Amino acid sequence: MMETNAAQLQQWQQVGWLRPLDVSFANLLLEQESEPSPWLAMLAALASYQLGRGQVSLNLASLLQNPTFCLQFPRPRTAMNTVVEPTSPEAVFANTSLHDVIAVLQKSRAVSVVHDSSETDSTAPLVLQQERLYLRRYWRYQQGIKTRLQVLAKQREVNKPALQQVLKDLFGNSAGDGDKLNWQKLACANTLRSGFSVITGGPGTGKTYTVVRLLATLQQLSMAEGGSERILLAAPTGKAAARMTESVRSELNQLTINDSVKQSIDANAVTLHRLLGAKPGSRGFKHHADNPLLVDTLIIDEASMVDVEMMAFVVDALPGHARLILLGDKDQLASVEAGAVLGELCAGADTGGYNSNTVQWLEQVTGESIPAVYTDSAFELSAYTKPDANPYLQHIVMLRESRRFDGQSGIGKLATEVNGMRTAWLQQWLQGNAPAADEPAELYRRIQYLSNTHPTDADFRSLVQNGLADFMARVAKRPGGDSKASCDQWAEQVLDAFSQFQVLCAVRDGEWGTKALNELISQWATAASGSADSGSGSSDHWYLGRPVMITRNDYGLDLRNGDIGIMLLHTPTNTRRVAFLSNAAAANASKMRWVLPSRLTHVETVYAMTVHKSQGSEFRHTVLVLPEHDTPVLTKELLYTGITRAREQFTLVAPQSKVLLDAVQRQVERG
């Protein structure tokens, strides 16, 4: 082993590889050791670092096999215009065996060694389980989720004849698409089979269509037995909750069912924090195992954004009889915080992997015939007897047919190639080559590539200004009168126009990051509008037409993290206010909210937003900009998420095509 010490940790902190928190945590553990080990400090610091980048644990085997890939340190920071050359991870871990590392950890008082998933009485801050090193709190979160899901996943009794009739009424006898399976019908049925299920699928695959019919199914079955299902809808962010509410209401209005059933369905979704009852200044919640939620079925949308800590709190707050249903796209970016719960649960879901019991049950209640390719008989039996085989495949239905994208052309083709981590077709597209003879050329006009450019170049400026032209025209076209109705209508049109075009960034810092681009585009926008009071056009100024995003839930103003508003002249009062679409549930409530800018404390300009912030949204034209240099944050999941935010038009801005090709072959590895 190479001798590591405090100086090594300080060096890595100096170049931005480790956070001060990581080094402080390591030093704290060393102070409590009777025989301090520099290797304990290094591994503790790296476990903390991995948590900061979304990893629940430090994979020791992966660390020693390929330290650079495992840690994915960013480019070293510069000091006084000089790049500090730190000792590489390869040099630090050269000639180090897994046996030696584990031996060091086993001797430490700071580490509890666990051989299975059972809890221990130890209060040691680190947990070593097989080849993974955890911070104890996150090990407990992960074990708590596994234990609770095992109980929920047990098969439940269901009135099959009643379910068959309800499914027939809601979905018909067949898929309606020739010989294709009705995956929506299968998904709806599968949720009734146990207390835990997942419905996953990409954009346009019918998740909302399915969940509304699921709501109707649950209520009809419950009401037939003289009861009423207590169903709660939730999402990880305010923006996602509002979108879920809107989409469920819209789909519910189009559904032809008994009025009493329709009226029993509450389409209002809330954030998970509000659902559990957040306590100010505390990590805890009002609802937990000793004070569970009053719910029969909990449905969580955009589940890919739920981190391991929040999921642990959710399952802990469920009563014993409740049913948990997760919705989301398993291929999207995981949560910003630690863990990739949905992705891990859905590992292998593309193959189906249904056993004979699942197939028999689903075919009996749905009338669908599941092809052998989606059953475990299509694979070697040994693949399902490995210790790491996914035990949740029987509870997952993947919606596979997109009504929005054609997977063989345009946006759909681009997303499919990126998600499959394939580069051959991408290289042809990046070089501007025409599609093959059997590919529809007109659809490729919907995906464009802008290369070898700089943010200040004319082609990029023209792209952005053309995209914002309708929005800016509507901002300038104020209503003729000063009535509240006309002002609200105008503001709604402005917000709608703004939602048609969006610049997405992979990073916040740098010339292709959100900070720099928002300031630059603000200058272009105010210059084009001729705003006399816009100052420099900086994002610090409340100029007319400034688009802003709420960055923290404000329950006092009923504004949620992710809500977007536009600074406009409120003509009835002749004052400048920020217009937001209302979150009010009442049918007769005003569609608009007008808020004085002085009351908004957590906002940022949003001509450009990060891909993470865009999850749960869609735009007619999406522009995804990549940084000039590669960075660990660039993964195929980030690219896929950015591409699939586009509804009709997608433009990629990549100064270096190699950055894109490298990112396509990098996958988020969490665990």
Q: Binding site membership for ATP: which residues?
A: 201-208
- What is residue 88's DSSP assignment? P
604 token code pair: 């940022």
Q: Which SS3 state, helix, strand or coil, does residue 101 take?
A: helix
Give the residue among 355, 352, 322, 328 at the shortest CA–CA distance from 342.
328
Alpha carbons within 13 A on the beta-carbon side of 314: 32
The token pair at 348 is 């292998």
Residue 233, H or E segment? strand 231-235
Phi, psi of 74 (to 5 degrees): -75, 175
Q: Please report, for residues 38, 134, 136, 139, the alpha-carbon distance to residue 124 in angstroms, rounded to integers and kept in the order given.
A: 18, 11, 7, 12
550: exposed, middle or buried (Cβ count in 10 Å: 0-12, 13-18, 19+) = buried
**Which of 556, 557, 577, 555 has the alpha carbon at shortest distance from 566?**
577
CA nearest to 526, candidates 540, 504, 549, 545: 545
Candidates 501, 434, 470; CA nearest to 648 is: 501
- The bridge status of strand 592-595 relative to strand 575-581 is antiparallel
Task: Name the residue with tokens 């309606």.
Answer: 176
Backbone region of residue 53 per phi and psi (left: phi > 0; alpha: psi in -120 to 50; beta: other values): alpha
Query: Which residues are part of a known binding site?
Result: 201-208
| In contact, 467 and 558? CB cutoff 8 Å | no
Q: What's the order of all strands across the beta sheet hosting 564-570? A: 592-595, 575-581, 564-570, 547-550, 603-605
Q: Exposed e or buried b for every residue in 161-179, given b needs 16+ CB within 10 A?
A: eebeebbeebbeeebeeee
Strand partners, 502: 622
CB 289 within 8 Å of CB 178: no
* Chain-centroid distance, C-alpha 196: 20
According to DSSP, the residues that pair with 278 across neighbouring strands are: 285
How crowded is residue 258: how many other Cβ atoms within 10 Å of its Cβ? 13
In 255-340, where does DSSP find H-type helix?
259-263, 272-276, 308-316
CB 423 within 8 A of CB 414: no
